[in-house]
């Protein structure tokens, strides 16, 4: 709507400017070339009634045409804007996971490639953190998928609360999440992990669900691709899970 109004205002301003120029030229001619411009001090115009009637009709038709054209232009502009907004809305909605309200896996390739390029260009660290929920299947089996979805949503909320606005949380699949921590080295990522573990422990204790969180970290190395980075952090996550299982068996 704003573009339509602006377009109408521009056309109106152009018409007014043209009329003003014509009046200015006529006024200058009447002042400096009075005798040759007008020929006399007063002007008397005589138009036969039929001619005046025809001219009036033509002016009315022209005005109606201009109004109709203006309305059509506004309508087309509004439709274009609405279609663009709808496309952008659908595109954005397609990148958000409906259960956890974080980015979904389809958003990840472009995001990670862009973050890698920025980190290497600025020579700044970039760390990936992948986590999944321990014993999540047991929660689903025992309490049902409604409670399972609540666990996923609660975990995602904790992850988002522990990272900065410049970082990203992505639901990688199932109960796995990937965090892209821009301009963060390993000590900084470990601090983020510590906050996550603390909040997760409090949240789980209040609900007595018996779940936990396994996390793996990987600092991007110059020259590696997004696929290689994900494979590295995924391997570290499963290394952490194996360590947890081994500790549990020893106990």
Neighbours of 220 (CB within 10 A): 24
Q: Please state, in angstroms and rounded to a whole number, the distance separating the CA atoms of residues 60 and 58.
A: 5
Q: Are 180 and 122 in contact (CB under 8 A)?
A: no
- Report CA-CA distances (Å) from 216 to 62, 179, 219, 232, 233: 73, 10, 10, 9, 6
The single-letter DSSP state of residue 104 is -
Q: Name the active-site residue from 132, 134, 175, 229.
A: 175
Q: Please state, in angstroms and rounded to a whole number, the distance separating the CA atoms of residues 108 and 120.
A: 18
- Burial letters for 182-204: b for 16+ Cβ neighbours within 10 Å, e otherwise? bbbeeeebeebbeebbebbeebb
175 assigned to active site: yes
- Which run of H or of E encompasses 167? none
Q: Which residue numbers are catalytic? A: 175
């Amino acid at each position: 709507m704003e573009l339509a109004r602006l377009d109408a205002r521009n056309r109106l301003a152009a018409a007014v400017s043209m009329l003003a120029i014509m009046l200015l030229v006529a006024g200058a001619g009447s002042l400096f070339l009075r005798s040759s411009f007008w020929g006399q001090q007063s002007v008397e115009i005589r138009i036969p009634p039929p001619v005046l009637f025809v001219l009036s009709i033509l002016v009315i038709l022209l005005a109606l045409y201009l109004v109709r054209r203006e309305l059509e232009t506004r309508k087309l502009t509004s439709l274009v804007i609405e279609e663009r907004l709808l496309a952008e809305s659908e595109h954005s909605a397609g990148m958000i996971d409906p259960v956890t309200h974080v980015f979904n896996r389809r958003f990840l390739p472009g995001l990670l490639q862009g973050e890698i390029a920025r980190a290497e260009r600025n020579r700044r660290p970039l760390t990936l953190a992948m986590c999944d929920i321990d014993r999540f299947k047991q929660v689903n089996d025992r309490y049902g998928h409604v409670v399972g979805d609540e666990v996923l949503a609660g975990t995602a909320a904790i992850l988002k609360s522990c990272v900065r606005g410049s970082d990203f949380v992505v639901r990688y699949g199932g109960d796995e999440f990937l965090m892209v921590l821009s301009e963060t080295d390993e000590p900084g990522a470990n601090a983020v992990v510590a906050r996550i573990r603390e909040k997760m422990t409090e949240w789980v204790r209040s609900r007595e669900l018996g779940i936990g969180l396994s996390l793996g970290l990987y600092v991007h190395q110059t020259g590696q691709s997004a696929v290689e980075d994900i494979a590295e952090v995924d391997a570290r996550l499963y290394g952490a899970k194996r360590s947890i299982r081994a500790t549990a068996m020893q106990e």
